[in-house]
Amino acid sequence: MLFHVQMEVRLPHDMPAAQADDIKTREKAVAQEYQRQGKWPHLWRVAGRYANISIIDVADIDELHALLSSLPLFPYMDIRVTPLARHPSAI
């Protein structure tokens, strides 16, 4: 199943820089592994915001939740999910 996922990150302003850097490093590693596995085929940054728009390709909503909740930045994210279906006019 394909899902359109919007993620906005909101780290606490008082989070120590070293802690934020560690979380971001771990986040990058996890996200890139999901991309290598083909589960996260599209990842775009939203210009001017600490946010992204992604297409996630997983078996079902339970796998999507497991993937998203495994992200190190998950506790600091506002996430919006839209399930996608093939459009009848798509080639």
User: Residue type at 58?
Assistant: V
Mean pLDDT throughout 31-46?
98
Question: Cα 22–39–10 angle (5° rounding)?
Answer: 40
State pTM to two decimals.
0.92
Domain ranges for the chain, please list them.
Answer: 2-84
Please give the pLDDT value at position 39. Answer: 98
Which residues are CB-neighbours of 39 under 8 A, at least 6 positions away? 56, 57, 58, 67
Residue 12's pLDDT band, with cuts at 50, 70 and 90, is very high
pLDDT for position 17: 98
Which candidate, 64, 56, 49, places its Cα nearest to that of 11?
49
CATH number of 2-84: 3.30.70.1060
